[in-house]
Amino acid sequence: MMFTIVISNKESHAHVPMIPELKSLALKNMSSWMDELNDVSTPRKVPPLSLPIQQTKDDDRTLLLAGTDTSSGTMEWAMSLLLNHPEILKKAQAEIDGSIGQERLLEESDLSKLPYLHCIISETLRMYPAGPLLVPHESSEECIVGSYTIPRGTMLLVNIWAIQNDPKIWVDPTEFRPARMERIEGGRDGFKLMPFGSGRRGCPGESLGMRMVGLALGSLIQCFEWERVGEEMGDMEEGTGLTLPKAKPLLAKCTPRSTMLDLLSHLR
């Protein structure tokens, strides 16, 4: 079976006009849930904030596209790395088999039992952060960084890609070594690893993103055997864009694992 792990940019943008329709449907289905939530929420001490409808639409689109592009891109980089390092792929498969078994599919609640899978995702995000420049920030007051004076109100971009691939900070940063993430204290180790930013201005979707990628990537590893197309190593050239896409989309061969065939055949 030939498998393209993410759709192209052109195909992705072709679905953008569907967003308002999907949003309306989602809001309709969520209305009763929101009513219940409002009933149990603490009464507001300030009047609710009113936003222009266009700003609301733009914010919705930003949240939706930011969450999908970054997650699918991270999965594509992770699978590309695993296909170029089949021994790491086998180790991840063995961890899932040992912790979850082959009688059921991986569930979100299982992710805490799969530390090596978490290391694979973290190492992928180190090498290929979904937001290589994070998001723009603004200095609230004048400050000095190194030999530079940063005036108040300056737009700031953090080149997290450079930090996470700096040989002065990381040993052999171009090498894919998930095991190094086992030694990262508190998941951050200072500010040397922060693909989602840090502090109160960090990405609000970090927890959701890690769960989404973990569940999807783990399921692909659990259910299928993967191979490169041809004998050559997979292309790892970086493309251009806010979310660091691959220059050439991943194309891989996958075959359902014989031990998972019965389970997969009963899926609807």
Hey, what are 260's tokens? 């998972």
Instruction: Note whether 50 and 189 are within 8 A (CB).
Output: no
Instruction: Note whether 92 and 117 are within 8 A (CB).
Output: yes
Residue partners of 60: CB distance under 8 A and separation at least 6: 19, 23
Torsional sign, CA 251, 68, 239, 167: negative
203 marked ligand binding residue:
yes
Strand pairing partners for 224? Answer: 256
Distance of CA 73 to the CA centre of its chain: 7
C-alpha distances out from residue 167 to 127, 133, 170, 174, 179, Å? 12, 18, 5, 9, 17
Instruction: Note whether 194 and 162 are within 8 A (CB).
Output: no
User: Can you tell me the distance from the alpha carbon of 125 to that of 161, in angstroms, rounded to the nearest whole number?
Assistant: 9
Position 45, amino acid: K
Binding residues for heme, by number, are 203
Binding residues, by number, are 203
